[in-house]
Structures are given as structure tokens and as C-alpha cells.
Structure 1
């Protein structure tokens, strides 16, 4: 949500999204940065966003606005702060120090945008930062830096996206896929959401409210997936109770790893139902 757009910040309170990224960076023109900063801080302090996580994306600390962003948002009530173009853990260290100096909560989570070639090459070190909670893939900047072309199958970012999911899983972080830029391409959006879900991402970043339904449909477990998960988990529990190490459901072997995945799917479905 563009931080300079007060109407968008207010409208966000009614959107069926899980996370709202209140943006001070790319979506805000340089001369509107101070206004956006003040509006985002005021919106966070006013609250009213319900179950939605509110994440503030600030400007990089080496820009004229980054440190002022950190100072203004330190105690504004954001659920996390997203730093763009992260290429090393040192940048996250500097952000943590800036927030600590400004009086931010000691446990304020940091999120990192992965959107440059160097950032992806250093993902393991970045993802291991103790304050980090999520990796957000910035495919638009990455494609530009690679001198690549956007394609329907997104082959140009497949390796980078896979590295992001791998690093997130290795370090216990959330992983969010990049945006789909064409607002009139519903079929392409649905395909991109399905690709990201199949690849292991936890969700997709979006640039317009009209894209929310497609992302929710792709990332929520389907009724069929929920039914299979329940069936497998019950068969696994029955097998364990009878002293067997495995179960067979509809001709497929069910082991411990399948039971754990079934538990994850059912927990996700329950969280969505509760929301």
C-alpha cells in the first residue's frame, strides 16, 4: 500500500489480506517521502487493521530517507519492518541498531527484500540473521539487474526463487513470492500464484487489491487437500497405535513425513477458517 496515499491506507483496513506492507520506498516519489512517513506512522498508531499484520517497508539506510524512516516508525506499532535490497547481514545489523537507538521494541522483527544478484548469492548468511522473520522476493528488480525478460513461465527467476525458499526453510523463515505486474492478466496471475505455491512459498506479494482473491485461492488448502490430509493423518495415527511404522492410504505409503505435512496443512486450514 503506497504510504503517500491516505485513502489506500484507510481502505487496507477492510481488505482480505493477511499482511499489509505500508510502503515508503518504491511506491513513493522522492518529494512525497516525508508525507508518506508521517501518514504511515499515523496509520500504524491509529490501528484498526484487525488480524492483518502491518509491515512497514522503509527506504534503505544509505538513502537520504532511511534513518528518518527508522526513527519515525520505531515505536509506531508495526508488526515488522521490511528493508529493501538486502545484500548482507551487516545491513540488517545496521537497521537493528537504528531501531534500538530510536526506542523500538527489542523483539521487532525484520524482513528482508531479496532483489539483487548479490543478495541472492548471499542468502544463506542473510537468512541466518537472528532478527529476521521473512524473506520477500523482489522479482522486478532482479529481472532488471539480470538483463533478463519477464516470461509467462518465469523461468528467468526460477533459480532465485528456489534459493529464497531453500534459505527460508533452512532458517525457519516465511518466504513470500514476488509481484505480478500486469493487473489485466488474470490468467497469468493465477498461474504465478500456483507456481509459487507449488514451489513452496508461503504467500505472494501483490500490488493491487484485485489480486488478493487469486492469491488466497492458490495458497489456501483446497477441500480435497484438507480431506486427504485428514485421511492420511488418521491412518498414520491408527498405524502408530497398532505398532506399525507406516500406513497405506489409497495405495500410497504414509510415513512420518507425510503425517507432519498433513498436520501443517490442517493447521493452515484452521488458521484461515479462524480468520
Structure 2
């Protein structure tokens, strides 16, 4: 089976190639790209397309690699020993299986998402090298070795907030999701809004891409923000005429769905004011 996108997810040819190449090579697929370009959703859609279960491990700044394997609750075991509970003799009662353990012991191949790996400490990727390479790890408390019954399809996302170690990168198949061009974005909108009027879609896309090109913009709007903006435009029955002109003449209606900080709002307002004054 090959990944070819889904009815809910527009995958470009090079993205499809990257997913299928990673599956064939049995290597983790490292996905980078701007926030909002569908990196996390890719794993969901790969699982749906291939008919496989999805396991998700969302990384935080406090996450440790060990948590992906298992957690040992020594405090609960100590408390139970003081209470004289029988289960204290079996350490397995105090092991909480992480996403990798669950993926390794699955009777069928699963898709494993390690989301936003660059949020964690710089050593985090290195601490997973052996486990992702050998598809096995040891449980120190019991002495057993957990080996993958079926090598999972591993998809790792990164927002490029920090550099990843070379040793980790060597073990991955890499793909950068480029921001969609207008034609691809139109296909994405067709999926989300099949009833959207063509004139409104065209004018909204023009304003959206103009906004992304404004020099000095601190945060460019993403695909997800465009989708939210269009939902609001349709809900408020905004006319095509309200989107006429360019951003140098007026701030777009319901701009709060697109612009997410006060510096960018002030930039747009100053730009419109200076244009009108001239």
C-alpha cells in the first residue's frame, strides 16, 4: 500500500514520495515546515490512508525520552508497601507504558507520531537513537527486553526551533513541507469549503498572500488561519466587495483570525493610513 493523500488532506507529489520512501527504507520520517502547514495532520492521514492505528506522543519542553518508553512510579510503590498491599511484589504494576512500548508490542503495524521533537532538550533526540534504530529497549526494573513485533511507521515533526543532532538526522528520511502556492491552496480550500463561491475564494486568497508578503510582518498567517478566516467570512456573510482593494488601502475584515500580535496589527494600520494620506 502506498500513501497518496486522502479526501481530507492534499498531499503534493514530493510529500507522497517522502512518506513512501520512509516506509520502504524503514526509517523515521522527519517533517519540517512552517507552523500550520499540516505536519501533525499528516500522521493522522497516513494512518487513515493505510488503515493503521495511530499512536501520538506530543513533546513538551519538560519531556524526557524515557517517558516514550515507560515511567516507573516508585512513589506509589513505596506508599503501597507501607500499606502492606500485595501487588507491591510485582514491579510491573508500577510501570506505565509509553508510546514506543505500545507501538512495539502492537500485534499490527501502527503509525507513531512524535510531534514537535524540537520543543524538548537538545539531548532528547540522541536519547532515542538506539531505540529507533534497533527497535528495542531494556526495562531496567524487570530486566526484560522489549522488541518491536512490527516496525512502526514513525513520523517526527519539527518546527525548526532548534537544530537537531547530526547522528539523529542520519537515521531519518527528511522532508520540508513548502508553504502551498495559490493553486495548491485552492485545492485545500475546495476540501474544506466545497460550497465556497469562487469569487470570494479568489479574493480571499489574494488578500491572504498579499498579507504574507508584507515586509516586517512578525508572524505570517498559516493555512489553518486562512481556513478560520474563511469560516468567519462565510458565517458573517461578508461580500466580495468588502475584500476589494489591497492591504495598503484597508485592514481586511475579521483580521484577528489572520494577524496574531499587536505589532502586526499596528503595521497594517500604519500602512493603510499612510496610503490613504498619500
For normalisation by structure 2, the TM-score amounts to 0.28
Query: Greater CA radius of gyration, 1 or 2?
Result: 2
Give the number of the structure with larger relative contact order, counting CA–CA contacts within 8 Å between residues 6 or more apart. Answer: 2
User: TM-score w.r.t. structure 1 length?
Assistant: 0.29
Larger helix fraction of residues: 1
